[in-house]
Amino acid sequence: MSFTLLVDTYCAAWSSESAEQRRALLLPLWSDGATYTDPTVHAEGAEELLAHIEGIQARHPGARILRTSNVDIHHGVARFAWKFVMPDGTSPPEGLDIAFIDADQKRITRIIGFFGSLVTSVV
């Protein structure tokens, strides 16, 4: 599986309204003990991440996470942009995830997520 497909499968796990399907999508690509951290949560292991995703789906039924950039990867670290799309098509500001992957590039070991665009400043 290419790492781009792995990221797309990860996004599909966030987008599924079915707990069974989320689990089936996430478990093969989530390394044992992997962590997910964003401004709202730090989840350790697949069960905590699945519970967090379930809470997001409960608050926003039918919402999806869509990858909006290419997946850049080097030295076991990848980045990709995404957006959270509500069922009516509206979307809050996009986000960026930094993903750490195992040596075989088959499983995610850690994700750090950021919300919104990078703010640039002129010095």
Mind listing the pLDDT tens digit for each residue in 64-103? 999 999 999 999 999 999 999 999 999 988 999 999 999 8
In a domain, 123, yes or no: no
Buried b (16+ CB within 10 A) or exposed e, 70-88: ebebeeeebbbbbebbeee
Angle (deg, nearest 10), helices 3-15 and 45-59: 50
**pLDDT surpassing 90 at residue 105:** no
Query: Number of structural domains, the chain?
Result: 1
Instruction: Please give the average per-residue pLDDT across 7-19, as a whole number.
Output: 96
In a domain, 120, yes or no: no
In a domain, 121, yes or no: no
In a domain, 38, yes or no: yes
The CATH number assigned to the domain holding 34 equals 3.10.450.50
pLDDT band with cut points at 50, 70 and 90 for residue 121: confident
**pLDDT surpassing 90 at residue 123:** no
pLDDT band with cut points at 50, 70 and 90 for residue 43: very high
Q: What are 50's two structure tokens?
A: 């699945």
Domain that holds residue 42: 3-115
Per-residue model confidence (pLDDT) at position 120: 74
In a domain, 122, yes or no: no
In a domain, 34, yes or no: yes
Nearest to 35 by CA among 109, 104, 107: 109
Structure pTM?
Answer: 0.92
Per-residue model confidence (pLDDT) at position 75: 93
